[in-house]
Amino acid sequence: MIKTYLITPVPKPRMTQRDRWAKRPAVMRYWAFCEEVRARGVQVPVSGASITFVRPMPKSWSAKRQREMDGAPHQVRPDMSNLLKALEDAVYGEDSVIWQYAGLTKLWGYEGAIIVETVDAPSVTHLPPTPATQSAPHPPR
C-alpha cells in the first residue's frame, strides 16, 4: 500500500536549551512540520516501510532544469538522516519501536511530499547463527 502525503519534508535541527525562548526559524519550521504530520495522520509502520522524501525544486531554477531534475536523486543538504529523524519524532513519541526500513529515498520534485510504501516485512522468528555465536568445540585439556 502506498500513501502520499503532500507535506514538504523538513530536517530535524540541532536544538539547544536556548531554543525554548530564542525561536530560531529552523526550529519553528521543524515544530510546524511536526504539527502538520500529526494533523494529517501520517503513519509509518514499525517495520517494512519504504519512505521517499520529495524535496521541492528551487523557484529560481529554469523550467528546463526543473524538467530535467524532476524525480532525480536529491544529493545536497539536508541529509536523509535528519529528514528521517524529523519524521520519526513527529509520528512516534518514542521512535525506538521502529526496527526496520525496506528502503529510503530522497528525490527532487515540483512539490514537497512524503511517500510511505508498506512492504511486507520478513518474518524474524529465528536468526541463523553467526560465527561468533556458533558453539565451537572446546579444546582438549
| Residue whose grid cell is 512539490 | 111
- Domain annotation covers residue 22: yes
Digit-coded pLDDT (tens) for 25-72: 999 999 999 999 999 999 999 999 999 999 999 999 999 999 999 999
Q: Is residue 139 part of a domain?
A: no
pLDDT of residue 122: 59
Q: What ranges make up the beta strands (E) of the chain? A: 2-5, 49-56, 101-109, 113-118
Range of the structural domain that residue 33 is part of: 2-118
- Does residue 124 lie in a domain region? no
Q: Is residue 23 part of a domain?
A: yes
Distance CA 6, CA 13 (A): 21
Dihedral-angle region of residue 67 (phi above 0 means left; psi in -120 to 50 means alpha; beta otherwise)? alpha
- Residue 133 in any domain: the answer is no
Q: Is residue 123 part of a domain?
A: no
Closest CA to 91 of 1, 2, 7: 7
- Assigned domain for 105 exists: yes
Q: State how many domains the chain has.
A: 1
Give how far the C-alpha of residue 64 lies from the chain's centroid of Cα atoms, to the nearest Å.
Answer: 29
* Span 8-24, average pLDDT: 90
Burial of 50 (0-12, 13-18, 19+ CB in 10 A): middle
The HSE-up count of residue 21 (CA atoms within 13 Å, CB side) is 2
Cell 503532500 belongs to which residue? 6
Residue-wise pLDDT for 78-121, tens only, equals: 999 999 999 999 999 888 899 999 999 999 999 999 999 998 75
Q: Is the pTM of this model over 0.85?
A: no
Query: Does position 131 have pLDDT exceeding 80, yes or no?
Result: no
- Phi, psi angles (nearest 5°) of residue 31: -65, -40
Question: What integer pLDDT is reported at residue 125 of this predicted model?
Answer: 54
126 is a domain residue: no
